[in-house]
Amino acid sequence: MRLKTKSLLLLSSLVLALTGPFASPMSADTGTSDAYDAVFVLDTSYSMNDSDPNHTATEVINMFMDLSETEQTRIGFAAYNHQIVASTPLTSLSIKERRQALKDKLASLRRTGYTDLGLGLRQGTSLMNKDEGNHRFVVLLSDGETDFGPLNTSRTEADSQRDVSASVKAAQAGGYPIYTIGLNHDGTVNGKQLEKIAADTGGKSFTTDSADDLPDIFNQIFAEQFRSVLVSVAAVTATGNLQEVEINIPNNSMQEANVILLSDRPLQEAQLYYDSPNIHYNLSSNYSVLKIDKPKKGTYKLKFRGQKGDLVKVNLLNTYELEAHAAAGKEILQGVPTAFASGFILPNGHSLEDGDVYKGVLAELIITDAASKKATRLPMALSSDGKKFEVKHTFAHSGQYAWKVEMTGKDFYRHVEGTPFKAVNKGPEAVKGNSTLSLSKQDGKKTLLLSDHFRDANQDKLAYQLVSNDGNELQASVEGDQLLIEPLRSGNGTLTVKATDPEGLTASFELSVKVTSIWNQILRVGGVILILLAGAFFLYWRFRPKASFRGRLEGYFLATASGSDIPVKYWPLTAFGQGKVTLQQLFDSLHVHEVVPESARVVFEPSKNNGLFVTHRTRCTVTIGRTPLEPGRKAELKYNDKLYITFEDGFTEIELRYKMIKPSTGIHQSEENAS
């Protein structure tokens, strides 16, 4: 019973090959065909009666067929001893009658004769059609090395070895692996030969001395090739009555769920309480398979009746039409965190949105240094929206790296390899600007932080070196990331500093330094102050508040050259605003037409103290009261002062009185009203 149970467990792993797509090994986002071709090469020599007494190999193939009922899946087999006993070409498993015919043919195989391994392997590889985009693999099972016994045959061991070599070349050309299993119950298996066949084709080789290990060996093979995990639901000792277990469907994204019941003897009854027409049943003497297409999330009851005392094992094999997708940052810099993300995509290229799938998955980023071959494994965290995995990694040094993401759930897994990339080290760069510095001898040492003058895209710690100091005006040195400068004498100098990153990339920075004396600075500052004061004085003089005219002038013509009698004139000076006004302008404002052209050179200006400045550049006789006013001299009139002017004609004479305007007097009073 134990052996048969293991065989069925093996088969449930094998179903994976038919239902799940394969990830491309060189792309981070590549779908693959859902079509699979599998060929089994079976040793049916007489010794297999001892090596595999329970026909475990046949049971494995039978269950494989029951779990793989799609048009895309094809299976073939070659049975051999010292000759080809039976051979079936690749046959689609979508038609029940074809599957049954294959099972019947396998069951009819008899174990007799000796062993010609090369002949059997050549026949098996010949069943592989040319590559049609299907995923292909061969499983070779043998319990001993090539042995013709006492038979009189034309073939030799050399012939068999040539067939082995030809088969290996065919597999290499076709791009499919050969997995080899040696049942070494009597110590006659040629382990080195089987290992070489597997190694040369990308497969793996297994050797065991007991058929009891076959299920475990097959599980390892199919775990590598197929991407679903057999989930153990329950192991129950049958009572002969109806018994019940719960089947949990964890999400709504499954392509297919296979409920597998294993027992020594046929079950009397099995029923899954699931409301859907998409349930199929396959029964045999040792197992029952209940297949559900596109199941819905939920917990469902499975009821079965086994023969009393039998151990019934219930397993669940789920398959998904999902591919892995992974992406890295566009620019990968050494020393700077790089973001990686991964998730699942559907056959239509859209991202999977089912958060229930992501919750049960553990994702891991694996980065391999191409130079050291050292692999770094980083757990990836589920994103906040629950629809992808994320992680950041900082590359310690530049170079070529390979990477892949492994996402493993309880019932399936997907692996995807990204395109190899180079982590780039960008050398340091000098920061533009800040290339000049002025110092005074009296200031003493100056310290500059060199990290302000260099930048490194990789955020490396830089080493600094003073390369040159081309003058005697200063002393300089580098301590850590600081540049120390001590001015010695006035003049100009240039310092060159080099920055080096941990990988030896460099950049240089030139600093022009001007050293001055404090006296030069004082003179310079003094000059600036004088300029500022002069400017301030000019601005004050230009925009200072100016006095306005106040009061009024009263004009009394004492005599005129024309003999005209001119009445008293009143000029309210506030009507003339700021600035200057000439006597001629006063005459014109009140239509005085006496011809005295020198009146245009008699000028009145307001003063700050409500006074009135008067100047003239004439030959007139001008007096203020009794005080003469010389030409070009400025004098000030106060209220009630009198100004006498005898014009150059010697006849015309006027008396001007400077008066305060009374509050009741309008400043725009007309001449006539004034009269």
Residue partners of 572: CB distance under 8 A and separation at least 6: 552, 661, 665, 666, 667, 668, 669
Question: Across residues 420-443, what is the average pLDDT?
Answer: 84
pLDDT exceeds 90 at position 597: yes
For the stretch 554-572, pLDDT in tens is 999 999 998 889 999 999 9
Which value, to the nearest 10 degrees, does the dihedral of the CA atoms of residues 300, 305, 307, 312 take? 0
Report residue 375 as tokens.
């692999």
Where is average pLDDT lowest: 133-142, 272-281, 414-423? 272-281
For the stretch 478-533, pLDDT in tens is 999 998 988 888 888 888 899 999 889 999 988 888 888 776 667 777 788 888 88
Quote the pLDDT of residue 533: 86
Residue partners of 592: CB distance under 8 A and separation at least 6: 555, 566, 569, 586
Per-position DSSP letters for 482-529, written without gaps between them: EEEEEE-SSEEEEEEEEEE-TTS-EEEEEEEEEEE-HHHHHHHHHHHH
For the stretch 307-329, pLDDT in tens is 999 999 898 888 888 999 999 98
- Out of 2.40.50.180, 3.30.70.2190, 2.60.200.20, 3.20.20.70, select the CATH number for domain 552-674: 2.60.200.20
Question: Which architecture characterizes domain 2-225 according to CATH?
Answer: 3-Layer(aba) Sandwich (3.40)
Q: Are 13 and 220 in contact (CB under 8 A)?
A: no
Q: Angle 595-601-607 (CA atoms, 0-180°, nearest 5)?
A: 125
pLDDT bucket at 549, cuts 50 / 70 / 90:
confident
Question: Which architecture characterizes domain 231-319 according to CATH?
Answer: Sandwich (2.60)
What CATH superfamily classification does 429-519 receive? Immunoglobulins (2.60.40.10)
For the stretch 237-282, pLDDT in tens is 999 999 999 999 999 999 889 898 888 788 888 888 887 777 877 7
Distance (Å, rounded) from C-alpha 540 to C-alpha 532? Answer: 12
pLDDT exceeds 60 at position 671: no
For the stretch 321-379, pLDDT in tens is 899 999 998 889 999 999 999 999 999 999 999 999 999 899 999 999 999 999 999 99
pLDDT exceeds 90 at position 52: no
- Out of 2.60.40.10, 3.40.50.1000, 3.40.710.10, 1.10.10.410, select the CATH number for domain 323-423: 2.60.40.10
For the stretch 111-124, pLDDT in tens is 999 999 999 999 99
pLDDT exceeds 60 at position 33: no
pLDDT bucket at 538, cuts 50 / 70 / 90:
confident
Domain ranges for the chain: 2-225, 231-319, 323-423, 429-519, 552-674
Question: Across residues 629-643, what is the average pLDDT?
Answer: 94
For the stretch 7-30, pLDDT in tens is 344 334 434 333 333 333 334 444
pLDDT exceeds 70 at position 454: yes
**DSSP strands (E only) in 219-297:** 231-237, 243-249, 256-262, 269-273, 279-283, 287-293
pLDDT exceeds 70 at position 664: no
pLDDT bucket at 675, cuts 50 / 70 / 90:
very low
Quote the pLDDT of residue 520: 64
pLDDT exceeds 90 at position 215: no
Question: Across residues 407-427, what is the average pLDDT?
Answer: 92
Quote the pLDDT of residue 629: 95
pLDDT bucket at 134, cuts 50 / 70 / 90:
confident
pLDDT bucket at 50, cuts 50 / 70 / 90:
confident
Quote the pLDDT of residue 5: 41
Label each residue of 97-164 as H, E or C: HHHHHHHHHHHCCCCCCCECHHHHHHHHHHCCCCCCCCEEEEEEEECCCCECCCCCCCCCHHHHHHHH
Within a 10 A sphere around the Cβ of 672, how many other Cβ atoms?
A: 8
pLDDT exceeds 60 at position 1: no
Quote the pLDDT of residue 432: 79
Bridge partners for 179 per DSSP: 139
Question: Across residues 640-652, what is the average pLDDT?
Answer: 94
pLDDT exceeds 50 at position 31: no
- Average pLDDT over the chain reads 85
Quote the pLDDT of residue 638: 93
Quote the pLDDT of residue 218: 66
Per-position DSSP letters for 11-68, written without gaps between them: HHHHTHHHHS----TT-SS----S-EEEEEEEE-STTHHHH-TT-HHHHHHHHHHHT-
Identical topology for domains 429-519 and 552-674: no
Residue partners of 208: CB distance under 8 A and separation at least 6: 181, 182, 183, 184, 214, 217
